[in-house]
Amino acid sequence: MRFSEWLHEHGQAKKSRDYNFAFINEAAKREIRRKILKAVAIPGYQVPFASPELPIARGWGTGGLQITLSLIGPEDILKVIDQGCDGSVNAVNIKKFVGQVTGVSTTTDTRRATIIQTRHRIPEEAMTRDQILVLQVPFPEALRTVEPSEAETRRMHGEADYSQMWLYLYEDIVKFGEISIGARYPVTVNGRYIMDPSPIPRWDLPRLHLAETLFLFGAGREKRIYAIPPHTRVEPLEFEDVPFRVENFRGKACRRCGSRTTFLDEIIDEASGNRTYLCSDTSHCDKLLAQQDEQGDCACK
Amino acid sequence: MGYVAVKGGEEAIAQAGRLLAYQRLKGTSKPLEVVQIQEQLYLAVDRVMSEGSLYAPELAALAFKQAAGDTLEAAFMLRAYRATQPRVGYSLPQSGEEIRIIRRISAAFKDIPGGQVLGPTSDYTLRLLDFELLEDTPRRRRAFMEALGQDLVDAQPLPLTFPKVVDILRKEGLLVETIGNGGNGGKVFDITRQSLTFPAPRSAALQGITRGETGGLLLLAYTNMRGYGDIHPTVGELRVGYLPVRIAHPHSGEPYSIGEVKVTEAEVIARFNDAEGSPKFTLGYGLCFGHNEIKAIAMAVLDRAMQSPEPKTPSEDQEFVLSHLDGIDSLGFGSHWKLPHYVTFQSDLDRLRQTQEVGTEARPGSGKKNAI
Amino acid sequence: MPAAKDFLDTQQAFRLLLQALSHPGEICLLSPRDPRLGLPLMLQTLLDHEVSFAVIGPERDSYAGLVKNWTRSRVTEVRAADFIIVTRGSSEGEIEKAKRGTLEYPDQGATIIYLVDSLSREDQNGLRVKLRGPGVKNEIQAIITGLAADEILRLQEINLEFPLGVDCFFIDQMGQVMGMPRSSLPEVK
Residue A167: C-alpha distances to residues A161, A173, A202, B212, B258 (Å): 12, 10, 20, 37, 59
- Residue span(s) of chain A under CATH 3.40.50.11310 come to 26-235
Q: What gap in Å lies between CA A221 and CA A63, rounded to an integer?
A: 7
Q: If you average pLDDT over residues B222-248, what whole number do you get?
A: 92
pLDDT value at A63 more than 90: yes
Give the pLDDT confidence score for residue B125 in this predicted structure. 85
Q: Is A37 on the interface with C (CB under 8 A)?
A: yes
Tell me the per-residue pLDDT of B344-361, one tens digit each, with 9 for 90 and over: 888 888 888 887 776 545
Q: Are residues A33 and C183, on separate chains, in Cβ contact within 8 Å?
A: no
Picking from A40-44, A200-204, B87-91, C142-146, which range would have the lowest pLDDT averaged per residue?
B87-91
pLDDT value at C181 more than 70: yes
- Domain A26-235: which topology? Rossmann fold (3.40.50)
Type of residue found at B320: F
Q: What is the DSSP string of A92-115?
A: HHHHHHHHHHH--EE-S-TTT-SE
- For A41, residues 6+ apart whose C-beta sits below 8 A from its C-beta are C21, C107, C167, C181, C182, C183
pLDDT value at B187 more than 80: no
Residue A247: C-alpha distances to residues A285, B345, C1 (Å): 19, 11, 57
C-alpha dihedral (C67, C71, C75, C79), degrees to nearest 10: -100
Query: Order of strands across the sheet with C176-180?
Result: C27-29, C176-180, C167-171, C111-115, C83-86, C52-56, C74-75
Q: Is A84 on the interface with B (CB under 8 A)?
A: yes
Question: What are the beta bridge partners of residue C115?
Answer: C171
Q: Are residues C50 and B197, on separate chains, in Cβ contact within 8 Å?
A: no
B42-52 and B214-226 helices, crossing angle to 10°? 80
Q: Name the nearest CA neighbour of B347 among A266, A237, A281.
A: A266
Q: Domain C7-188, what architecture?
A: 3-Layer(aba) Sandwich (3.40)
Give the pLDDT confidence score for residue A1 in this predicted structure. 38
Q: What gap in Å lies between CA B253 and CA B33, rounded to an integer?
A: 41
Residue B304: C-alpha distances to residues B175, B270, C47 (Å): 13, 8, 37
Q: If you average pLDDT over residues A53-59, what whole number do you get?
A: 86
Q: Is C7 on the interface with B (CB under 8 A)?
A: no
Q: Do B263 and B289 touch, CB atoms closer than 8 A? A: yes
Q: Which chains touch B (3 or more CB pairs under 8 A)?
A: A, C
Q: If you average pLDDT over residues A222-251, what whole number do you get?
A: 94
Q: Which residues of A are catalytic?
A: 44, 254, 257, 279, 285
Domain boundaries defined on chain C:
7-188
- Cis status of the peptide bond prior to B199, with omega within 30 of 0: yes
Tell me the per-residue pLDDT of C5-14, one tens digit each, with 9 for 90 and over: 678 899 999 9
CA nearest A224 in B: which residue?
B195
pLDDT value at A6 more than 70: no
ipTM of the complex: 0.96
Q: If you average pLDDT over residues C179-186, what whole number do you get?
A: 97
Q: Could you tell me the pLDDT band of residue B338, with boundaries at 50, 70 and 90?
A: confident
Q: Could you tell me the pLDDT band of residue A15, with boundaries at 50, 70 and 90?
A: very low
Q: Give C159 to chain A, closest Cα distance, Å.
A: 11
Tell me the per-residue pLDDT of A82-92, one tens digit each, with 9 for 90 and over: 999 998 888 98
Residue C88: C-alpha distances to residues A43, A262, B342, C74 (Å): 30, 54, 56, 21
Give the pLDDT confidence score for residue B150 in this predicted structure. 86
Which percentage of chain B shows pLDDT scores above 70?
90
| Cβ atoms within 10 Å, residue B311 | 18
Q: Could you tell me the pLDDT band of residue B182, with boundaries at 50, 70 and 90?
A: low
Give the pLDDT confidence score for residue B156 in this predicted structure. 81
Q: Are residues B364 and A20, on separate chains, in Cβ contact within 8 Å?
A: no
Q: Are residues B367 and A239, on separate chains, in Cβ contact within 8 Å?
A: yes
Q: If you average pLDDT over residues B198-205, what whole number do you get?
A: 89
Tell me the per-residue pLDDT of A148-206, one tens digit each, with 9 for 90 and over: 888 899 999 999 999 999 999 999 899 888 888 999 999 999 999 999 999 999 999 99
Q: Name the nearest CA neighbour of A23 among A63, A66, A60, A58.
A: A66
Give the pLDDT confidence score for residue B197 in this predicted structure. 80
Which percentage of chain C shows pLDDT scores above 90?
84
Chain C residues within an 8 Å CB radius of B197: 104-105
Q: What gap in Å lies between CA A290 and CA B353, rounded to an integer?
A: 34
Give the pLDDT confidence score for residue A159 in this predicted structure. 97
Give the pLDDT confidence score for residue B310 in this predicted structure. 83
pLDDT value at B362 more than 50: no
Q: Is B197 on the interface with C (CB under 8 A)?
A: yes
